[in-house]
Amino acid sequence: MKKYTLLLIAVLISISSFSQEDNTESKWVPRDPKKFESVHTGTFNGQKITYKAVVGETFLKNSKGEVTGALWSTSYIREGVDSSKRPVLFIFNGGPGSASIWLHVGFFGPKVVKTDSEAKNDDGAAPYRFVENTQALLDLTDLVFIDPIGTGFSQIEGVGKTSDFWGLNEDAESIAQFMRTWVTQHGRWQAPKFMAGESFGTTRAAKVTEVLEEGGQTMALNGIILISQALDYAGSSSWADNLTSFFTYLPSQAVTAWYHGKAGKGKTIEAFAQEAREFAYGAYLTSLFLGEKQTQAQKEAIAEKLAYFTGLDKAYILRSDNQILMHRFKKELLREEGKAIGTLDGRYLATETDKAAEGPVLGDPASYMTGAAYTAVFNDYLMRDLKVTMDRPYFTSAEGMGGSWNWKPVPDGAYWEPTYVSTARSLSEAMHRNTRMKVMVANGYYDLITPFFDAEYTFARHNFPQERIEMTYYEAGHMMYNRQKDFDALAKDVRKFLEGLLK
């Protein structure tokens, strides 16, 4: 009897849940999008500029014209100029599931947070340094920071479901719809248009570029800035049996070992990186694909070279079959000192609570040694400077998105066999259709999640037009702008890139 009672309860709950979901549309009351506006002045690139900040939501709609989501963005728009041909730069972070906070108050925004440039000290507790960004691009272009659905204040509305947005294709469609809507509302169809993305944001940027060429509203971009690119995940997924990753990660392991004094003594970082590239393309690539066809002597010779480049013990490397997974490298490099190195930036160190573990146990010090500062200053900035008053929190990352994300590059119902995510071909083909578009790729030497050598490997393939690809390098990690010297260098490189496109 108890079993049947529980079954009846379950059925009633299911019916109730179905009814609630089915009635979502009728419960949503049409309203005007929320918007918070404020006017500011600042000096950027030596020019005193008055600009309007607009934090607000844009309703996204399905093919029937029904509202499915409210996407929030922050726009900085210069006042007192003819806006019809005023350039605009659309900016987003990655994840998937990250809000635009990192590029917003880390690099591109009119104010930026400052953490320890040399990656030695934790950000601690409030108050944090938040300063004017005199290198911001507002003298050159307007800025639009995008928070995808589920991040920031952006959320499902009307008849929408998370599955409408949480997927490779779905995400790109929603961002493209927002960009077209923003351009239409602000009269910028004749204006130069740029995108900047970081990490998965570069995966997104490639796909959005493709989507913008479709749907009966073709929008061509002038240029794209890819920070810590991740276009082809075969080269940025350090997993067992993924031979490509052992090849692409080796130079990053080498320069990180160099930074910590474990390898390459007496050499410059550029010289040691080049030496690692040559070994990776040469003897190491051959060894990876020969596998057990090698003699023991051949394996030992490769292990000797890997020990030279990575600073790890030769016997450990041999036990690892000459294939060093990144999570092991991060723990093994400084194991004797009881420390693990960062993922987003190999300069950061964590004092480990479990010194015998296979990999880091506390998480990524490059993240938790900076994350509190970013979160605190941005929330305070929203309230005090941008005059935003909301009854719900700003989520720097989406709740529950990870396990619900649809990575399939094909429509539902289409046949597909699982493979590594890649939008590289999408960007290459878009560049061949739009022969004016150029791409800047910014790489951090100590980025241990999207390695610089993978960027080189990716853009050397897929038939990319080499003359329109610009590679830049910085002595920091994934968020290279956290190091002041590289913040300055990146700002200079981005400005030069955009100015070249606006000539």
pLDDT band, residue 179 (cuts 50/70/90):
very high
Does the pLDDT value for residue 11 go beyond 60? no
CA angle 110, 72, 499 (to 5 degrees): 40
Average pLDDT rounded to a whole number, residues 285-308: 98
pTM for the predicted model, two decimal places: 0.93
**Least confident piece of the model among 274-278, 389-393, 414-418:** 414-418
The better pLDDT of the pair 18, 478 is held by 478
Q: What's the pLDDT score for residue 26?
A: 52
Rounded to the nearest angstrom, the gap between the alpha carbon of residue 397 and the centroid of all alpha carbons in its chain is: 12
- Are the beta carbons of 245 and 235 closer than 8 angstroms? yes
- Which tokens sit at 76? 């900085």
Does the pLDDT value for residue 5 go beyond 90? no
What is the average pLDDT value for the chain, to the nearest integer? 93
Task: Report the alpha-carbon distance of residue 167 to residue 67 in Å, rounded.
Answer: 18
- Are the beta carbons of 454 and 235 closer than 8 angstroms? yes
Average pLDDT rounded to a whole number, residues 70-86: 96
Average pLDDT rounded to a whole number, residues 53-73: 97
Rounded to the nearest angstrom, the gap between the alpha carbon of residue 414 and the centroid of all alpha carbons in its chain is: 28
Average pLDDT rounded to a whole number, residues 75-81: 97
Does the pLDDT value for residue 313 go beyond 50? yes
Domains and their CATH numbers in the chain: 33-233+371-502 (3.40.50.1820), 242-363 (no CATH)
pLDDT band, residue 242 (cuts 50/70/90):
very high
Task: Report the alpha-carbon distance of residue 201 to residue 479 in Å, rounded.
Answer: 13
pLDDT band, residue 3 (cuts 50/70/90):
very low
Does the pLDDT value for residue 192 go beyond 80? yes
- If DSSP states are collapsed to H, E and C, what string results for 291-318? HHHCCHHHHHHHHHHHHHHHCCCHHHHH
Average pLDDT rounded to a whole number, residues 275-298: 98
Q: What's the pLDDT score for residue 402?
A: 79
